[in-house]
Amino acid sequence: MEKCLESVVQQSYANLEIIIIDDGSTDETSLIYNKFQSNDERILVLKQQNSGVSKARNTGVKAATGDYICFVDSDDWAELNYCSELYSLLVGENADISIVEASYEDENGNVLCSKPISDEKIFDGNRALVLLLEDQEIQSHPWGKLFKADLLRNVHFPENLKCFEDYSTLFKIFNKAVKVVKSNKKLYHYIQREDSLSHNLSPATAYQFFLAIMEVFEFWRNSAMVGDRNKIVKNIVRKLLMVLKRITRNTKVDEMKSEKDEIRRAFNSFLKYSATDIGLEYYFYLRLYYYFPTLYARLTQK
């Protein structure tokens, strides 16, 4: 957390309201932020009982008084021109959301992966929302973005979800945007730790991801978005099959039966898509689990 706070208080854009949410920490976290707060009057600390990241984000958004809102997670850190670049992009293009790229690193600073980057930089709201749902050029992370504060009014991160709250929330925010602008500069450092959800996706957390995915699907199915609908549904099916495999591989037949049945019933909504729409592999596995769930579980075991 110390590196995170150092990167925030030293931002070249200094007109910041820095809100720290202590989500029931029991370690020495308070010693770190108290030290920073004693030297920086811009810092406001809000404490809550351990309630999860959604409640923390909602608390921070509610407390914010500025015209713009930006997120930085405590495990991560940002380049010193992170805020200034986001602000200049947003104001310069009169946009509702600005975005910068991230470097995905381990705890030692080694770069782990990179994602496709295009030269497209300015999007209307529909195009940005399509790219978000395709999950390639724009992804469902709150960090790495600056939002006009009004976009977050009446939009809440779901406190019933213990994880993947961003995936089921960002599309609601983007759906309100008229214009989005993006820079390819890597100004945010996302640190992937060995004990993070991405490395330890248990069956229970995988089911939480399923709930978030289906919320996105229901929104998309009922929307009038203009875009490559097959590409979006293919991405949704890919995530659903990933979740299903994680659950079936790590549970016994009689474990999480109701959750497995719920996922199987949800697959019915995707049976209408052809192999041309979503690809032969996804087409096959959807039907295999829907019609022969026991056989699917047996074939996909490690």
Written as one string, the DSSP assignment of 238-288 is HHHHHHHHHHHHTS-TTSSHHHHHHHHHHGGGGTTS-HHHH-HHHHHHHHH
Q: What is the pLDDT of residues 96-151, one digit of tens each?
A: 999 999 999 988 888 887 776 777 799 999 999 999 999 888 999 999 999 999 99
Where b means 16+ CB within 10 Å and e means fewer, 228-250 reads ebeebbbbbbbbbbebbbbbbee
d(CA 164, CA 185): 25
pTM assigned to the model:
0.90
The SS3 assignment for 134 reads helix
Please say whether the dihedral angle defined by the alpha carbons of residues 32, 34, 39 and 44, taken in this order, is positive or negative.
positive
Q: What is the pLDDT of residues 208-264, one digit of tens each?
A: 999 999 999 999 988 877 777 889 999 999 999 999 999 999 999 889 999 999 999
Q: What is the pLDDT of residues 147-173, one digit of tens each?
A: 999 999 899 998 887 778 899 899 999
Please say whether the dihedral angle defined by the alpha carbons of residues 157, 51, 266 and 206, taken in this order, is positive or negative.
positive
CB of 82 within 8 A of CB of 98? no
d(CA 190, CA 49): 26
Domains of the chain: 2-9+65-191 (3.90.550.10), 203-299 (no CATH)
Confidence (pLDDT) at 130: 93
Which amino acid, one-letter code, is at 92?
G
**Pairing between strand 97-105 and 111-113?**
antiparallel
- pLDDT of 295 > 80? The answer is yes
